[in-house]
Every structure is written in structure tokens, then in C-alpha cells.
């Protein structure tokens, strides 16, 4: 576990409050998703980001939003929200409604917003990693000043195609930052049971790729370090392989009701002492930037905002039956009928 470092906070009160609001909004949004799922208004597979908020906030504040490419797996709500996708389009997609990012055809695992640089939203563990390298390849090919942030979970770090991609990212000098969101579990399998080496960050080294392990539970540090790495990648036109230590407090997916099969309640309680939101709140309080009253007011405001978004989505229709054939191709439909 990366130790939480002591450091001097130089960020402004306004900036810290923005971090806090972003993280808290994601948490409240995801908690709402869980409730929506339990109420039967969302189905399939749904994976929330509770506990990991500092990671996405730090990285999404380090990039040039709308210019740089971002791609991730199926735990994708937070990345979209932070890139500027309207929350009702994210929740609408989770609920399979017409107002969703893909008009209800993608679902929770497949949120996309290319206008804001977000390229999904992918369901095959590790399968999107070469796609992210391909986005970086396009930037390099065109001589653009863009990088790709290519997120994956610790489980994905074992997929063969990830190693194939690392080889080519280094060989072709691709401006791609591979970010492992190591929440310690590949679904229900603990890191020590799925990774022979346990230190995933070292896996970039054989490919001559800058490789590091960082703490993802401290948003201030995360943003500072991510900014340095993103700009290094942009300037050097080289890939980086960064393992971020984090933790998901929720189950793997909304259907994971058996967390005790792979971890104890005591372990979860200990992990809660590293809660990135509580940590930032404490840091801000120490600096005199935050009071309990103010925090509660923000929490109430954001809770109301999430409810307002939910009402919009719940009022949005499901897609029409005749839309089922739309957009399989850009210019035609397949053979129709059963």
C-alpha cells in the first residue's frame, strides 16, 4: 500500500472545493444508481465508482478536456461526468432511456461522449486497451498535441492483449498513459490470487516504459502527480504505465451481494479510514476552508441535484421499437425480422 504522504497544500480554497464537490457528486450519483438498480429501474451489469472518486477526479483535472482522449472499461460513470457529459445523459443511459448517451442502447457499461473526448465505456476486460493505444496512435500520426488516458482495472492488467499493446505503445512512441485503477479485486478475486507478481506497476518496465505506483486516495496528490505525468507524456511522446492504489467500497457490480466471500467487514472498515472524500474534507477543515455547516449544505445541494436528474430520466421514454435497427451501420440496416 502506498503511504499517505505529508505535504504542504498550496491549492486555493476554490480549487479544493471544486475537487470536493466533484468527488461528492460522483458518490451521490453512484449511490443513486445503486438505489435505481435495486428498485428495478436499471438492469444488466452496473459498476459504481464509490471509493475511487479521487482517482478519476485527479486525472480528469490533469488533462485538456475535450482535446485529450479518455477511454475506460465498464466502471465508467465517473469519467463521463467529469469530462462534462450531462449527468441526465449518463443516468438516462443507465436506466435505458432515450435521453441516455446512446439512446438506451448501451447501458451502464457503455457510456460514450466523443465530443468531450470520452471513448467509452467497454465491457470486455482489457479489450479496450489497444483501442486507447489506437486513439493515441491517431494523435501521433496526425502530429496532434493530444494524449490518451487509458484506464483499466487490476484484473485487466493480466490480459494478453494488454502486454501486446504495451509492446507496441513503446515501439511506436505512443502518447498514451495506461492507468491501472487497482482496487485490489478482479471481481471477486483478490490481487494476490490473480497476479503472480502483485506489483503491477513493474509490468511496464520490460517494455522500457515509464512505470510508477501512486496512491489514489488523496485527490490533491493525485491531481499533482497526474498533471506531471500527462504533460511528460505529451512532451516526450512516450507511454507511461501507472498503477494507482485505490479501493472500491461497493461490490464489483450491482449484482455483487456477496462481498464477504472475498473480504471481511473489518477490512472494509479499515479501508473506510482512507475515504478520499473524508480526507479532503478534513484537510480543508484544518486549513479553515470548510465547516460542518458548509459541507452539509453542499451535500444537500448535490443530493437535490441528483434527485432532479433522476426525475428527468424517469420521465424520459424508452427507445422506440423501430429504433432497434438504427446505427448498426452508418448507411444501411441489416436483414430485418426474426
Partner 1 sequence: MSLEMTYREALAKSIEEEMQKNPEVFIMGEDIGRYQGTFKVTRGFVEKFGSRSANYNYRILDTPITECGFTGIGIGAAMAGLRPIVEFMTMSFSILALDQIINHAAKVHYMTNGEVKCPIVFRGPGGAAKQLSAQHSHSMDGWYAHVPGLKVLCPATVADAYGMMKSAIADDNPVIFYENPGLYTVKGEIPDDINYTVPIGKAQILREGKDISLVGYSRMTQVHLAAAELLAKDGIDCEVVDVRSLLPLDTETIYNSVRKTHRAVVTYEDWRSGGFGAEIVSRIQEDCFDDLDAPVVRVGGLNVPMPYARNLELLCIPSEEDVVAAVHKIR
For 284, the grid coordinates are 480543508
Nearest to 74 by CA among 160, 155, 146: 155
Q: How far is the CB of 295 from partner 1 (least distance, A)?
A: 37
**169 vs 222 by CB, closer to partner 1:** 169
Rounded to the nearest whole angstrom, what is the least distance from the CB of residue 157 to partner 1 in the complex? 15
- The residue (of 16 and 166) whose beta carbon lies closer to partner 1 is 166
Cell of residue 320, nine digits? 422506440
Residue linked to cell 436499471 = 42
For residues 35 and 28, the answer to whether their CB atoms sit within 8 Å is no
Nearer to partner 1, 4 or 327 (CB): 327
Residue 116 CB, nearest approach to partner 1 (Å): 11
- Parallel, antiparallel or unpaired: strands 189-190 and 176-182: unpaired
Nearest residue to 285 (alpha-carbon basis) of 271, 296, 273: 296
Give the list of residues 6+ apart from residue 114 with CB closer than 8 angstroms, or none.
Answer: none
Q: Which of 205, 88, 219, 79 is nearest to 148 (CA)?
A: 79
Decide whether 6 or 335 has the Cβ nearer to partner 1.
335
CB of 231 to partner 1, least distance (A): 21
141 versus 193: smaller Cβ distance to partner 1 = 141
- Rounded to whole angstroms, the Cα distance separating 284 from 282 reads 5
Q: Are 238 and 231 in contact (CB under 8 A)?
A: no
* Residues in the chain, overall count: 338
Which residue do the cell numbers 505529508 mark?
Answer: 6
- Minimum CB–partner distance for residue 72 and partner 1 (Å): 13
**Shortest spacing between CB 334 and partner 1, in angstroms:** 5
Of the candidates 217, 219, 218, 241, which has an alpha carbon nearest to the alpha carbon of residue 229? 241
Task: Examine residue 130 and say whether the peptide bond preceding it is cis (omega within 30 degrees of 0).
Answer: no
Looking at the Cβ atoms of 77 and 223, the one nearer to partner 1 is 77
Our CB check for partner 1 shows the closer of 114 and 206 to be 114
Nearest residue (CB) to partner 1, 80 versus 222: 80
Nearer Cβ to partner 1 (112/289): 112
Which three cell numbers mark 61?
483535472
DSSP state of 83: H
C-beta of 126: minimal distance to partner 1 in Å?
Answer: 9
CB 319 → partner 1: shortest distance, Å? Answer: 9
For helices 219-236 and 276-286, the axis angle rounded to 10 degrees is 110
Which secondary-structure segment (H or E) carries 270?
Answer: helix 265-272
Q: Which residues contact partner 1 (rule: CB under 8 A)?
A: 69, 71, 101-103, 105-106, 110, 112-115, 119-124, 127-142, 160-161, 164-165, 167-168, 171-172, 326-332, 334-335
Min dist. Cβ of residue 110 to partner 1 (A):
4
Amino acid at each position: 500500500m502506498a503511504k499517505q504522504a505529508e505535504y504542504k497544500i498550496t491549492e486555493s480554497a476554490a480549487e479544493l472545493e471544486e475537487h470536493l464537490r466533484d468527488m461528492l457528486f460522483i458518490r451521490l450519483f453512484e449511490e443513486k444508481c445503486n438505489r435505481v438498480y435495486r428498485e428495478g429501474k436499471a438492469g444488466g451489469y452496473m459498476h459504481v465508482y464509490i471509493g475511487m472518486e479521487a482517482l478519476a477526479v485527479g486525472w480528469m483535472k490533469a488533462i485538456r478536456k475535450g482535446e485529450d482522449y479518455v477511454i475506460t472499461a465498464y466502471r465508467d460513470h465517473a469519467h463521463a461526468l467529469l469530462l462534462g457529459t450531462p449527468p441526465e445523459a449518463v443516468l438516462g443511459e443507465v436506466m435505458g432511456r432515450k435521453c441516455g448517451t446512446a439512446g438506451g442502447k448501451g447501458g451502464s457499461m457503455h457510456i460514450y461522449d466523443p465530443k468531450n473526448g470520452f471513448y467509452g465505456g467497454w465491457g470486455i476486460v482489457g479489450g479496450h486497451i489497444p483501442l486507447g493505444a489506437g486513439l493515441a496512435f491517431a494523435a501521433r500520426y496526425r502530429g496532434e498535441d493530444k494524449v490518451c488516458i487509458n484506464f483499466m482495472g487490476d484484473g485487466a492488467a493480466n490480459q494478453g492483449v494488454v502486454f501486446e499493446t504495451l509492446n507496441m505503445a513503446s515501439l511506436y512512441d505512443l502518447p498514451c498513459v495506461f492507468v491501472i485503477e487497482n482496487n485490489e479485486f478482479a471481481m471477486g478475486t483478490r490481487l494476490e490470487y490473480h497476479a503472480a507478481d502483485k506489483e503491477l506497476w513493474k509490468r511496464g518496465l520490460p517494455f522500457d516504459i515509464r512505470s510508477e505506483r501512486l496512491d489514489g486516495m488523496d485527490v490533491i496528490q493525485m491531481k499533482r502527480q497526474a498533471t506531471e505525468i500527462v504533460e511528460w507524456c505529451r512532451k516526450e511522446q512516450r507511454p507511461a504505465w501507472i498503477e494507482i492504489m485505490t479501493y472500491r467500497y461497493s461490490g464489483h457490480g450491482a449484482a455483487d451481494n456477496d462481498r464477504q466471500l472475498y473480504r471481511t467487514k473489518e477490512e472494509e472498515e479499515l479501508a473506510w479510514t482512507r475515504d478520499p472524500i473524508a480526507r479532503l474534507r478534513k484537510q480543508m477543515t484544518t486549513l479553515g476552508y470548510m465547516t460542518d455547516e458548509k459541507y452539509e449544505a453542499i451535500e444537500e445541494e448535490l443530493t437535490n441535484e441528483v434527485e432532479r436528474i433522476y426525475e428527468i430520466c424517469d420521465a424520459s421514454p424508452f427507445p422506440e421499437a423501430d429504433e432497434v435497427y438504427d446505427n448498426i451501420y452508418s448507411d444501411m440496416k441489416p436483414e430485418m425480422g426474426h
